[in-house]
A and B are shown apart, each in its own frame.
Chain A
Amino acid sequence: MKLLKLTVDNFRVFHGRHVLRLDVTDGKPAVLIFGMNGAGKTTLLNAFTWALYGTFTSDVEHQERIINDRAWADAAFGASVHAGVKLEFEHEGVLVTVLREVRAIKDSEGQDLPRPTLTVTETRHGESSEVKNGQDRIEKILPEGLRRFFFFNGERMERMFTGDGTGDVQDAIKTLMGLEMIERAIDVHLPAASRKLTAAAKKLGGGRLQQIADTQDQLEQQKLAIDRELLKLSADVSAYQREVEAAEKALLENGQAAPLQKRRVRLAKELEQEKNRYQELQDKQRRVLAERGFIAFTAGIDQAVIDLAEGMRRRQELPSGIQRDYITGLLEDGYCMCGTPVPAGSPAHTALLERLENAGLADVQARWMNLRGNAARLIDARKALLDELREISAELQAIEAKINDLDAEESDIARQLKGVDVVDVQKLEDRRKEFDDKRIEALGAHRDAKRGKEHLDEEITRLRRQFHAAKVEDTEAQNLQRQVALVDEVLEAFRRILEVRTAEVRQQLDAKVKGVFSRICIKPFTPELTPNFELKLHATTAGPAAIRSTGENQILGLSFVGAVSEMAKEIHNRKQKTDEANLDEGGIYPVVMDAPFGNLDIEYQDQVAESLPQLTSQIVTLLSQSQARGRVLEHLQTAASRIYVLRSVTSKEGAKEQNITINDRAVPYVSRGDFEHTVLEEVTV
């Protein structure tokens, strides 16, 4: 999707028609639009999403007033008034024009508008045609679930990863990465097909099939109930977590509670570190025991082997090279060492020959030597193992003691907070504890329910196998049985594919987020995309969660958007190269962002300004003069193919006219006029 042109016509603050050309050249992906507060930056951002989806972001006030106020006021009663937004873009070689407009006959002062209409036109090879179900077409090009990644307000970006937005983000990633369609097949459509075929088979197949299918039905019902419970518990955990965080924040903001709460935050971080270290040591202990634990049980055996070998050597029962030479000499001389003749064929000669044969077994000799050596090493290994286990155990004990101390200190802080003679603090503390307890309880219940579901899944899989293998007489039932088996085969394969694809997407996205984030953030924080596709920020690698500021949340959001754009593009390119059963979705998408710097400090603004053009192949940025000065403006201008100014026209008496400096030229930013409106003007780059 490559944006070409946006035309707004009597839309909100825009009086009359204004055209924003959006085509960019290679290496200069940015379109910059400057405007002061209230000039219409957010309106322009919303013009894109209104044209595409017919909706505004929640921060837009008086959403019913789509038609420009002046145009509405100027219209006579009974006259037709109209507002519209036309977005032209190119998608996979097709020119798409999306026109959403609203027309009304003015019959009151307030706007009571009919439902806006949508017209989508596609032009291929110079021939245009109207798309019948335009909204469907738009959904296929850029699903509404993804708009948060590509049309957003930098100041509100942190909301993407907090509260109720998290689930939507997860769904959007899945859509973008092609996982949603596999998930839908697994969760809805293949089981539905399997159920229908099973129901038909059980009717024809008789008792056994019927019995298996009925049992399965019961288990599926139980599974559904668990699914509902899991959903509720997840929502509960998130809600409790939010309450705990809100109470903690309020405690931090309370003058009397703040020092104690700060100490508690520090303690929590320390506790998290100690818990991680404890976990690591326990893992190490398990690993050591699994790999080398057996050595501990060899005490005595090794010494016995050494003693045995040594005794045999002393008694000359142990074959050796010297012994062989010696016996050969005796046989050649024909006399034993005691002087007794040993002629060939005599029993003594035969005995010496046997002795020679044994003494000649080099591998026996080598093995004995090895065995003795290994037995000696075994003693050293056992000692090393026991030393290591003792060391781990001592460390574990030390950490346990530390954790107990931290718990005690935390408990003391909780008591002190309860004792603060301020009702609000006591209430907050009670509230924090109440919801933390609830959160822990809900987490436990969630784990139990998940285990229960796993058990049911195993049981259902076993029943499915029985269903496939059950003997039935009816030919039609046999066919249905085969069809059920076929659906189940695909279902099982999709489950495995979803697992590996999810892991792959998460891993790649995680690496990309880390890369973009480290380029921008000056702190040694490390972002992590968890297996549940939640975005977290750690103070250090694998360390405790960082307490992130609004600004850091914004950087995290930007990094994420950049990573998603980049991956979507890569997946799209991969899709073009294969004609196999394709699991990829992806695409090339522009980014349109209002207030990209949000609440960022100047250092971060500079970093972000430098990184923005690298995020994607087309980026439309709406910003105010105060958000772009000095090096920030230089970075942005270097990457810009087009620059626009939203000139605010004001009728206010005594209002000062203002200019904005772009490319060392003064461009009108605020000017005087008959009524309040905004004019969109292109500045020569």
Chain B
Amino acid sequence: MSKEGAVNAQETAKEILNSLSPEARILAKRVLELEREFLHVKNPTLLTPKIIEAVKELAK
């Protein structure tokens, strides 16, 4: 990536999130919450099932 591109990276990251479908935006937020919650655990058993749970709730 060019330096000019990197200057606006934060904005671009936001743009990327904003370009998602409404369901995907919610899922992205949830996934980040879960990752943060379990960041200190090497292999969190429940993280993937929790992501699937969130997905199933969003795309029934």
A-side interface residues toward B, CB under 8 Å? 136, 139-140, 143, 175, 180-182, 184-185, 189-190, 192-193, 196-197, 479, 482-483, 485-487, 489-490, 493-494, 496-497, 499-501, 503-504, 506-507, 580-583, 585
11 CB < 8 A contacts A-B: A140-B39, A482-B59, A483-B59, A485-B59, A487-B27, A489-B20, A490-B28, A490-B31, A500-B13, A503-B5, A504-B10
Closest A residue to B2 by beta carbon equals A503
B28–A493 contact, CB under 8 A?
Answer: yes
The listed residue with most A CB atoms (<10 A of its CB), out of B9, B14, B23, is: B9
CB distance from B11 to the nearest CB of A (A): 9
Over the window 16-40 of chain B, the binary record of Cβ atoms lying under 8 Å from chain A Cβ atoms (1 yes, 0 no) is 1101110111011101101110011
A501–B9 contact, CB under 8 A?
Answer: yes
A497–B16 contact, CB under 8 A?
Answer: yes
B residues within 8 A CB of A140?
Answer: 39-40
Number of residues of chain B lying within 8 A (CB) of chain A: 38
The one of B24, B51, B52 that contacts A493, using a Cβ cutoff of 8 Å: B24
The listed residue with most A CB atoms (<10 A of its CB), out of B3, B10, B32, is: B32
A347–B6 Cα distance when bound, in Å, is 72
B residues within 8 A CB of A184?
Answer: 35, 39
Q: Which 3 A-B pairs have the closest CB atoms?
A: A504-B9, A139-B40, A181-B35
Closest A residue to B29 by beta carbon equals A581
A residues within 8 A CB of B59?
Answer: 479, 482-483, 485-486
A185-B32, A507-B6 in contact; A193/B55 too (CB < 8 A)?
A: yes
**In terms of DSSP, what is the predominant structure of the interface of chain B?**
helix
A180-B39, A493-B16 in contact; A581/B56 too (CB < 8 A)?
A: no
A185-B35, A193-B52 in contact; A494/B58 too (CB < 8 A)?
A: no
B residues within 8 A CB of A482?
Answer: 59
B residues within 8 A CB of A180?
Answer: 39
CB distance from B31 to the nearest CB of A (A): 5
A190-B31, A483-B59, A490-B31 in contact; A500/B1 too (CB < 8 A)?
A: yes
A139–B39 Cα distance when bound, in Å, is 9
The listed residue with most B CB atoms (<10 A of its CB), out of A485, A490, A503, is: A490
B residues within 8 A CB of A190?
Answer: 31, 51
A residues within 8 A CB of B35?
Answer: 181-182, 184-185, 189
A residues within 8 A CB of B52?
Answer: 193, 196-197
The one of B13, B25, B40 that contacts A497, using a Cβ cutoff of 8 Å: B13
B32–A582 contact, CB under 8 A?
Answer: yes
The one of A136, A197, A486 that contacts B23, using a Cβ cutoff of 8 Å: A486
A264–B17 Cα distance when bound, in Å, is 52
CB distance from A33 to the nearest CB of B (A): 30
A residues within 8 A CB of B60?
Answer: 479
CB distance from A261 to the nearest CB of B (A): 38
A residues within 8 A CB of B32?
Answer: 181-182, 185, 581-583
A residues within 8 A CB of B21?
Answer: 486, 489
The listed residue with most B CB atoms (<10 A of its CB), out of A190, A487, A496, A581, is: A581
B16–A189 contact, CB under 8 A?
Answer: no
A490–B60 Cα distance when bound, in Å, is 17
A residues within 8 A CB of B9?
Answer: 500-501, 503-504, 507
CB distance from B22 to the nearest CB of A (A): 11
B residues within 8 A CB of A483?
Answer: 55-56, 59
A672–B12 Cα distance when bound, in Å, is 66
CB distance from A631 to the nearest CB of B (A): 39
CB distance from B50 to the nearest CB of A (A): 9
A489–B58 Cα distance when bound, in Å, is 13
A196–B6 contact, CB under 8 A?
Answer: no
A193–B51 contact, CB under 8 A?
Answer: yes
Closest A residue to B21 by beta carbon equals A489
A182–B48 Cα distance when bound, in Å, is 14
A189–B17 contact, CB under 8 A?
Answer: no
A490–B24 Cα distance when bound, in Å, is 6
B residues within 8 A CB of A487?
Answer: 27, 51, 55
A193–B3 contact, CB under 8 A?
Answer: no
Closest B residue to A140 by beta carbon equals B40
A residues within 8 A CB of B56?
Answer: 483
Closest B residue to A481 by beta carbon equals B59
CB distance from A119 to the nearest CB of B (A): 18
A189-B48, A190-B51, A503-B9 in contact; A494/B40 too (CB < 8 A)?
A: no
